[in-house]
DNA sequence: GCAGAAATGGAACGAACACTCCAATATGTA
DNA sequence: TACATATTGGAGTGTTCGTTCCATTTCTGC
């Protein structure tokens, strides 16, 4: 619907406000009033650019789900270290998107349509981690590699959740424990 | 407020309905209308027994958080196998409480009061798992044991989330991968 | 079985919600 | 410059929310 420059700018302002609000107050806490207030637009302007509130929210959600996969361009060449590093960076970075993604996972427990989206992106990620496992240890069968990838991603997700709830949690140190190359290496004491 | 038998029964019916609804539609999806409809009571009856909707909801939430710790009575004597087993049983069991707990963890990302409750129970659990780790391998320092417990619980939480979103996921098999006694043992192929 | 308190259902309330409507204005095109 | 249309803010809509109120019924100790 947006054709003029000002309209496209307003659209971006709305999406930016929605992104921030999703991270701060959660999916259910986002109201149209809050979005329009933060984006400094009237309700009429909003509905001139989006069909509904959910339209804007889902736009941001899609963006969140897609950006969980770190560096999707370099597919097929990552080492396990790279993948874990990228995942940790995504979780502990300043972007609100990681918060949104983890909330979505929780919401997938009750909303089937969100569950299927989250699951699909999860399966893609498992595949990439499994490939990396097999490159690291070619003696692994595919099933074994997939199983290890599943456990590793489960752990990374769980650690990410702890890290986002508890800012003092050192996710990177704990995530390194998961790497076969670091097996048994001590984690530095918590500050 | 409840003094007579019928009142206490009604109270239980309301809590039961709230518990089921929390698991099925999530915290934000629970409405007073849904609670009173499922419990077959009028709004007046509800407010005769609870101060607010949140009063009933928090009652169930408290129950959910407390029951995550499997078998708190046998503290200090569990093996790692026992603890993992109990956690898996809790997650994959038929009780709606595991679903509620995982939702809560997600909500802790935006609600500080819920975050602190979830964190407190998490820390208690880490302590128990760390103790079990040290019993299993007395050469571990306390810091190392805590680190391993943290990773293990992160993985269990992440795997539990996957299991509750994807019913075909075999959590028990994957959780066993985490045990030092099973390190390197293959996971049976997914059906 | 009577008195007093507890329990009940449902109508009614204000607040908050997503969304509509529209007159006024800004923007791009030719 | 002039025209068509995109963009704007905000008052107004209908709905749903949690909660209150209260007349009526049910319960229990004495």
- Are A27 and A74 in a shared domain? no
> A148: Cβ–Cβ under 8 A, 6 or more apart, which residues?
A129, A130, A133, A140, B177
> A140: Cβ–Cβ under 8 A, 6 or more apart, which residues?
A133, A134, A148
pLDDT of B181 higher than 90: no
- B167 belongs to a structural domain: yes
Q: Chain B 103-142, CB below 8 Å of chain A: which residues?
A: 103, 105-111, 115, 118-119, 122, 141
Q: Are A128 and A52 in contact (CB under 8 A)?
A: no
Per-chain mean pLDDT for chain B:
91
Q: Do A155 and B150 touch (CB under 8 A)?
A: no
- A125 belongs to a structural domain: yes
Q: Which of B34, B88, B109, B139 to mutate to test the interface with A (most CBs of A within 10 A)?
A: B109
Domain range for A39 = 5-57
- B55 belongs to a structural domain: yes
Q: Measuring from the CA of residue B10 to each C1', which nucleotide is nearest?
A: C7
Q: Measuring from the CA of residue B42 to each C1', which nucleotide is nearest?
A: C9
- Are B44 and B123 in a shared domain? no
Mean pLDDT, residues A74-94 taken together? 87
Closest CA to B134 of B76, B86, B75: B76
Q: Are B11 and B60 in contact (CB under 8 A)?
A: no
DSSP code of residue A69: S
- Are B45 and B120 in a shared domain? no
Closest CA to A106 of B176, B118, B63: B118
Predicted local confidence at residue A72, as pLDDT: 64
- Are B169 and B84 in a shared domain? yes
Q: How many helices (H) and strands (E) does chain B have?
A: 9, 0
- Are A111 and A132 in a shared domain? yes
d(CA A128, CA A144): 14
d(CA B179, CA B81): 7
pLDDT of B189 higher than 90: no
Predicted local confidence at residue A45, as pLDDT: 98
List, chain by chain, residues whose CB lies under 7 Å from nucleic acid strand C: A 4-6, 30-33, 43-44, 47, 52-54; B 1-4, 6-10, 40-45, 47-49
d(CA A167, CA A146): 31
Smallest Cβ distance to A105: which of B122, B153, B161?
B161
Closest CA to A18 of A48, A69, A51, A54: A54
- Are A101 and A146 in a shared domain? yes
Enter the tokens of residue A55. 């339209």
**Residue labelled with tokens 């009061």:** B113
- Are A102 and A142 in a shared domain? yes
Q: What SS3 class is residue A40?
A: coil
Mean pLDDT, residues A123-146 taken together? 95
d(CA B123, CA B116): 10
- Are A169 and A107 in a shared domain? yes
CATH, residue B43: 1.10.10.60
Q: Chain A 159-178, CB below 8 Å of chain B: which residues?
A: 159, 161-162, 164-166, 173-174, 177-178
Predicted local confidence at residue B69, as pLDDT: 76
- A170 belongs to a structural domain: yes
- Are A173 and A100 in a shared domain? yes
d(CA A115, CA A107): 8
- A188 belongs to a structural domain: no
Closest CA to A14 of A49, A39, A47, A50: A39
Q: pLDDT tens digit string along A16-71?
A: 999 999 999 999 999 999 999 999 999 999 999 999 999 999 999 999 988 887 66
Closest CA to B148 of B161, B135, B164, B163: B135
pLDDT of B142 higher than 60: yes
- A191 belongs to a structural domain: no
Predicted local confidence at residue B115, as pLDDT: 94
Domain termination residue (choose one: B43, B59, B75): B59
- A189 belongs to a structural domain: no
- Are B152 and B121 in a shared domain? yes
Predicted local confidence at residue B66, as pLDDT: 86
Smallest Cβ distance to B143: which of A152, A178, A187?
A187
- Are A39 and A86 in a shared domain? no
Per-chain mean pLDDT for chain A:
91
Domain termination residue (choose one: B17, B42, B59): B59
CATH, residue B129: 1.10.357
Domain termination residue (choose one: A57, A75, A95): A57
Backbone angles phi, psi at B41, to 5 degrees: -135, 160
Q: Are B99 and B164 in contact (CB under 8 A)?
A: yes
Enter the tokens of residue B50. 């609870």
- Are B36 and B104 in a shared domain? no
Closest CA to B102 of B4, B34, B171, B39: B171
> B170: Cβ–Cβ under 8 A, 6 or more apart, which residues?
B187, B188, B190, B191
Q: Chain B 40-69, CB below 8 Å of chain A: which residues?
A: none
Closest CA to B92 of B172, B146, B186, B29: B172
Rg of chain B over all Cα atoms, to the nearest angstrom: 19
Q: How many domains does chain A have?
A: 2
Question: What is the spatial distance, in angstroms and rounded to an integer, between the CA atom of A45 and the C1' atom of D3?
Answer: 23
pLDDT band for position B155 (50/70/90)? very high
- A143 belongs to a structural domain: yes
């Amino acid at each position: 619907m947006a054709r003029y420059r000002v309209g496209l700018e307003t659209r971006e302002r709305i999406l930016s406000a929605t992104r921030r609000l999703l991270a701060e107050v959660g999916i259910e806490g986002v109201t149209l009033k809050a979005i329009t207030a933060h984006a400094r637009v009237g309700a009429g302007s909003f509905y001139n650019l989006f069909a509904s509130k959910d339209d804007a929210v889902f736009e941001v959600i899609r963006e969140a789900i897609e950006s969980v996969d770190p560096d999707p361009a370099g597919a097929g060449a990552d080492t396990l270290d790279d993948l874990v590093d990228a995942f940790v960076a995504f979780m502990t970075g300043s972007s609100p998107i990681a918060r949104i993604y983890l909330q979505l996972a929780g919401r997938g427990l009750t909303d089937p349509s969100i569950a299927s989206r989250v699951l699909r992106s999860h399966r893609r990620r498992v595949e990439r981690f499994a490939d990396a496992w097999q490159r690291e240890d070619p003696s692994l069968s595919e099933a074994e590699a997939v199983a290890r990838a599943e456990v590793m991603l489960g752990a990374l997700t769980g650690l990410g959740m702890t890290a986002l709830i508890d800012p003092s949690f050192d996710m990177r140190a704990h995530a390194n424990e998961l790497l076969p190359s670091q097996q048994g290496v001590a984690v530095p004491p918590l500050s």
